[in-house]
């Protein structure tokens, strides 16, 4: 009897698992530019920098203050690179701030992003953060009615949340800031020297 059980056990262990072997994990993809993206720099720049950031993230604000100005001067303004900012809000207030920037005219988008990062400590920790955001909106040329309408705009809200969801599922983004330089993933607010090195490596070989 024992030999029969051993024989049956061997058959079970050697039989293929129903459905075959588990599929290999899908590789992380890299972002691609879309018509909805707001681009900082020349459209035909050979290097594309995707930045995933939250407007309440202090590390993202540090990058905006300390690294981005040099990247802009040496790479974006010279036509060698372009930047595409994508939303990855870490909280409800970041979502509202992102919506504000998205409601602005395209040519003012990066002005709002920069202002929101530069004044992050002021509006984020204000007694009434929404009132502080409205103040920034007015300084940027929005009326009170436009600001309130923006904050109620479900299409804008869904677009911001959708940007975060897609980044998590498709590109493996789980922290801010996260960058992709011509597909190469960089996490964290790296100093300029690290960015300069990555950008140099991404330049097309002549």
d(CA 30, CA 50): 10
CA distance 67 to 65: 6
Model's pTM, two decimal places?
0.85
The two beta strands, 184-187 and 178-181, are antiparallel
The answer to the question of residue 121 being in a domain is: yes
> CATH number for the domain including 115?
3.40.30.10
13 within a domain of the structure (yes/no): no
Q: Which of 203, 178, 180 is nearest to 63 (CA)?
A: 178
Q: Is residue 32 part of a domain?
A: no
> Domain for residue 23, yes or no?
no
Is residue 19 a part of any domain in this protein? Answer: no
Q: How far from 204 is each of 73, 80, 140, 171, 180, CA to CA, in Å?
A: 20, 10, 38, 23, 16
Helices vs strands, H then E, count in the chain: 10, 5
The β-bridge relationship of strands 47-53 and 178-181 is antiparallel
Q: Structural domain tally of the chain?
A: 1
- Give the pLDDT confidence score for residue 205 in this predicted structure: 82
28 domain residue, yes or no: no
User: What b-and-e string marks burial along 125-160, b requiring 16 or more CB atoms within 10 Å of the CB?
Assistant: eeeebeebbbbbbeebebeeeebeebbeeeebbeeb
pLDDT in tens, the chain (206 residues): 434 333 333 333 333 333 333 333 344 588 999 999 999 999 999 999 999 999 999 999 999 999 999 999 999 999 999 999 999 999 999 999 999 999 999 999 999 999 999 999 999 999 999 999 999 999 999 999 999 999 999 999 999 999 999 999 999 999 999 999 999 999 999 999 999 999 999 998 86
Q: What is the pLDDT of residue 206?
A: 67
Q: Does any domain span residue 68? A: yes
Residue 155's domain comprises 41-202
CB atoms within 10 A of CB 195: 23
CA distance 186 to 183: 9
Instruction: Give 165's DSSP letter.
Output: H
Please state, in angstroms and rounded to a whole number, the distance separating the CA atoms of residues 131 and 105. 21
**What is the rounded end-to-end Cα distance, in angstroms, of the chain?**
75
Phi (first) and psi of residue 189, to 5 degrees: -80, 80
Assigned domain for 8 exists: no
């Amino acid at each position: 009897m024992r030999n029969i059980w051993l024989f049956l056990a061997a058959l079970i262990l050697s039989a293929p698992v129903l459905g075959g072997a588990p599929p290999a994990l899908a590789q992380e993809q890299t972002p691609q530019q879309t018509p909805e993206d707001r681009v900082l720099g020349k459209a035909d720049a050979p290097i594309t920098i995707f930045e995933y950031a939250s407007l309440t993230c202090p590390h993202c604000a540090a990058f905006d203050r300390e690294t981005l100005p040099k990247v802009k001067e040496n790479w974006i303004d010279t036509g060698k690179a372009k930047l595409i900012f994508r939303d990855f809000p870490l909280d409800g207030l970041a979502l509202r701030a992102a919506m504000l920037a998205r409601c602005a005219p395209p040519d003012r988008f990066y002005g709002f992003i920069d202002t929101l990062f530069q004044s992050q400590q002021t509006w984020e920790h204000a007694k009434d953060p929404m009132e502080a955001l409205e103040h920034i909106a007015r300084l940027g040329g929005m009326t009170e009615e436009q600001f309130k309408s923006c904050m109620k705009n479900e299409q804008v809200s869904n677009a911001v949340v959708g940007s975060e969801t897609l980044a998590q599922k498709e590109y493996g983004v789980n922290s801010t800031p996260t960058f992709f330089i011509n597909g190469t993933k960089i996490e964290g607010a790296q100093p300029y020297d690290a960015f300069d090195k990555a950008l140099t490596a991404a330049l097309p070989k002549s």
